[in-house]
Amino acid sequence: MSEKIFTATDIETMVEGVIAEHDHGVSVESVKPFEDYFTVKLNNDVSLSTLNAIARKVGNKFISVGSEDDMLTLFFKPGQSEDSDFDDDDDVDDQELHDDNPNVIPENMRHTNRFPDAKEIVIPGTELRVSNTEQNEQIMAWMKETGHTPIVFIRLDDGVHVEVSDLFDRRLKAVLAEGKAIGADARHYTFENGGSDIWPIGGDICVRAICDETGRSDMYGMSFFV
């Protein structure tokens, strides 16, 4: 059976259908194809459960999520994951993920399989909720103080939880020092401004990079390159 060929219209219809069921007030601003990949821009942030639903709908559970021009950007190749590849908890929403223990990073956000020394830390002084901008500043200040770059972070009831790993830090420093890296999509990237433009977005610490093959500039989670 031949592989299904998706068009930009197919992707827009699928993503808009999911958003209509989960996040009112969010819309698809654009869909741009490149070879077998698509970049989808949304006019607002969406919840984790919505991202999971989009991933299931387009058939790729490893969507790259970034931010560009104050919009949420999704980058993926559709049809890469079978329905059986998704865990049972891929569809539950943020609150349900924390019902059993509201102060633990969900298992599907952990990276101990890739970084065996990874551990979870709560950033001191983040118990009180603040704006996203202030929270990002707290995370960046903590990174500067400790020298750690979180693999992932999440806001829970008792503060901002981060997953850190010395192995991840060493690999990341080596990648940034090189100024170039191969992304999870097997393409070559060059970091803008030597990789100094980093900022928390969603649940990742992101860096701006240019794809050498396409010339496309975007923000990518650090784990996309490490």
Here the CATH number for the domain that contains residue 21 is 3.30.980.40
Residues 118, 164 contacting (CB under 8 angstroms): yes
Q: What angle do CA 40, 62, 222 make, to 5 degrees?
A: 90
Compute the distance between CA of residue 182 and CA of residue 212 in angstroms, rounded to an integer.
10
User: What pLDDT does 68 receive?
Assistant: 61
Residue 192: both structure tokens together: 């803008």
Same domain? 25 vs 65: yes
Compute the distance between CA of residue 38 and CA of residue 219 in angstroms, rounded to an integer.
15
User: What pLDDT does 109 receive?
Assistant: 59
pTM: 0.54
Question: Domain tally for the chain?
Answer: 2
Question: How many helices (H) and strands (E) are present in the chain, helices listed first?
Answer: 5, 12
Domain region containing 150: 112-226
Same domain? 168 vs 132: yes
Residues 49, 92 contacting (CB under 8 angstroms): yes
Compute the distance between CA of residue 75 and CA of residue 191 in angstroms, rounded to an integer.
18
Residues 68, 219 contacting (CB under 8 angstroms): yes
Residue 23 has pLDDT above 60, yes or no: yes
Q: For residue 95, tell me if it sits in a domain.
A: no
pLDDT digits 0-9 by tens, 121-156: 999 999 998 887 888 899 999 999 999 999 888 888
Q: For residue 12, tell me if it sits in a domain.
A: yes
Residues 48, 93 contacting (CB under 8 angstroms): yes
Q: Smallest Cα–Cα separation from 207: which of 186, 185, 187, 180? A: 180
> Mean per-residue pLDDT for 38-61?
84
Same domain? 69 vs 122: no
Same domain? 19 vs 75: yes
CB atoms within 10 A of CB 199: 15
Q: For residue 77, tell me if it sits in a domain.
A: yes
Residue 100 has pLDDT above 50, yes or no: no
Domain boundary among 85, 100, 127: 85
Same domain? 78 vs 164: no
Tell me the CB-side half-sphere exposure of residue 141, using CA atoms within 13 A. 11
From first CA to last CA, the distance across the chain in angstroms is: 35
Same domain? 116 vs 226: yes
Same domain? 129 vs 49: no
Same domain? 157 vs 121: yes
Q: Smallest Cα–Cα separation from 153: which of 132, 180, 167? A: 132
Cα distances (angstroms) measured from residue 82 to each of 2, 59, 124, 224: 15, 6, 40, 21
Same domain? 35 vs 70: yes
Residues 214, 34 contacting (CB under 8 angstroms): yes
pLDDT digits 0-9 by tens, 163-221: 999 999 998 888 888 898 888 888 899 998 877 778 888 788 888 899 998 898 888 88
Q: For residue 197, tell me if it sits in a domain.
A: yes
Same domain? 81 vs 118: no
